Amino acid sequence: MKRLENKVAVITGASAGLGRAAAEKFAREGAVLSLWDRDEKRGEELANGLTEIGVVAEFRAVDVADTASVDEAVAAVHDRFTKIDVLVNNAGITRDGTLLKMSDEQFDQVVDVNLKGVFHCGRAVGRVMVEAGKGSIVNTASVVALYGNFGQTNYVATKAGVIGMTRVWARELGRKGVRVNAVAPGFIATEMVEAMPEKVQTMMAERSPLGRLGRPDEIADAYCFLASDESSFVNGTVLSVDGGLIS
């Protein structure tokens, strides 16, 4: 039996990078997918491609920073599929700058998506899961939340906040049948990273004890484990998938 057979999964930031890898992994494992993103073109293409190979998948244009957008999407997903078993809070952005040069706008944009977006989705989907008495929420943190990163005050703050929220929600929702965990990816070879100068990619790879960048599918595997019943006694954990960068 497939690991996510008939589980309804919402994945945010699903059109590219880690979200796309998660969608493809979950599809192979039998999940029913609601893919959320602001990039309608790529999101529709992904959902249509999965549908063509027999996967039950839909795309929804959702702005996780907007409460109404999230609440409407959750209601629509629940109306169509009658349940939500898994939420992967993957949507995130960067607006890098050193502390002395970072604008209020840069800081607020990242907080709105990376922190408030996780809160909006967790609250709305959490209500559905609590009513059903079961569910798994997987939040995307980052290795940089554990050690800091030059020029990323806003991003690091949000990812540290996600870790904190994960642990609070695990305590609040665990007794109601809902598990909440986080994945903290290291340096991963997403499209964004691959667009960086080669010397930057080399530097990132050399910082890992394994001597390479991670692959998006390796993060998707971690998402899948935490979403599946294989992790039924895992709650409130932060799973570092970083090649040993933090050890």
- pLDDT (tens digit, 9 = 90+) per residue, 73-88? 999 999 999 999 999 9
pLDDT tens digit string along 117-161? 999 999 999 999 999 999 999 999 999 998 898 999 999 999 999
Number of structural domains the chain divides into: 1
Predicted structure pTM score: 0.96
Q: Is residue 1 part of a domain?
A: no
Radius of gyration of the chain (CA): 17
Containing structural domain, residue 233 = 8-237
What's the gap between Cα 144 and its chain centre? 15
CATH number, domain at 174?
Answer: 3.40.50.720
Residue positions annotated with a catalytic role: 155
Q: Does 173 score more than 70 pLDDT?
A: yes
Is the pLDDT at 192 greater than 80? The verdict is no
Kindly state whether residue 202 falls inside one of the protein's structural domains.
yes
Is 245 within the bounds of a domain? no
Tokens 């599929």: give the residue: 81
Kindly provide the b/e burial profile for residues 71-83, where b requires at least 16 CB atoms within 10 angstroms of the residue's own CB: eebbeebbeebeb
Cβ atoms of residues 150 and 100 within 8 Å: no
Domain assignment present for 243: no
205 inside domain: yes
In a domain, 246, yes or no: no
In a domain, 244, yes or no: no
Task: Look at residue 2 and tell me if it is in a domain.
Answer: no
